[in-house]
C-alpha cells in the first residue's frame, strides 16, 4: 500500500524526518548524491532544499529543467527564511519554548 500523502504531509511538516525516511528506505539519496557528506550537510543546514533537490532529481532522471531549479530555489528561500526567523527571535529576546514559564507574565 502506498502512503504518499502521509509522507508528503510528514515531509512538509518535518523535512528532516522526511529526508531521513528517504535516506533509509529508498535508494534515491544514493542515486542523487555520490557520497554521504552532501546529504548530511543538507540534513543539518538546508533540509527543505535537500529534500526538494532529491525529489526533483529523481523525478527528472538527473536532468533538471527550469521548473525543477525553480522549485529548488523556492526551497532555498524557505530554508533561509527559517534561519532568518531563528536569528531574529534570538536578537529580540523571544523565548519561544518557555514563553509562559515561571517568571514570565502572560500577555
- For residues 26 and 90, the model is more confident at 26
Residue 107 pLDDT greater than 60, yes or no: no
Q: Which residue has the cell 511538516?
A: 13
C-alpha cell at 13: 511538516
46-83 confidence digits (pLDDT tens): 999 999 999 999 988 878 899 999 999 999 999 999 99
Number of alpha carbons in the 13 Å side-chain half-sphere of residue 66? 0
11-54 confidence digits (pLDDT tens): 888 999 999 999 999 999 999 999 999 999 999 999 999 999 99
The phi, psi pair for 97, rounded to 5°, reads -85, -20
For the chain, the structural domain boundaries read: 13-91
Amino acid at each position: 500500500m502506498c502512503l504518499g500523502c502521509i509522507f508528503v504531509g510528514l515531509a512538509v511538516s518535518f523535512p528532516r524526518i522526511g529526508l531521513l525516511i528517504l535516506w533509509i528506505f529508498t535508494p534515491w539519496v544514493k542515486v542523487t548524491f555520490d557520497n554521504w557528506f552532501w546529504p548530511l550537510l543538507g540534513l543539518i543546514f538546508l533540509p527543505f532544499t535537500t529534500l526538494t533537490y532529491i525529489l526533483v532529481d529523481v523525478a527528472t532522471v538527473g536532468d533538471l529543467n527550469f521548473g525543477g531549479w525553480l522549485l529548488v530555489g523556492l526551497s532555498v528561500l524557505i530554508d533561509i527564511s527559517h534561519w532568518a526567523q531563528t536569528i531574529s527571535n534570538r536578537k529580540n529576546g523571544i523565548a519561544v519554548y518557555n514563553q509562559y514559564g515561571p517568571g514570565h507574565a502572560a500577555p
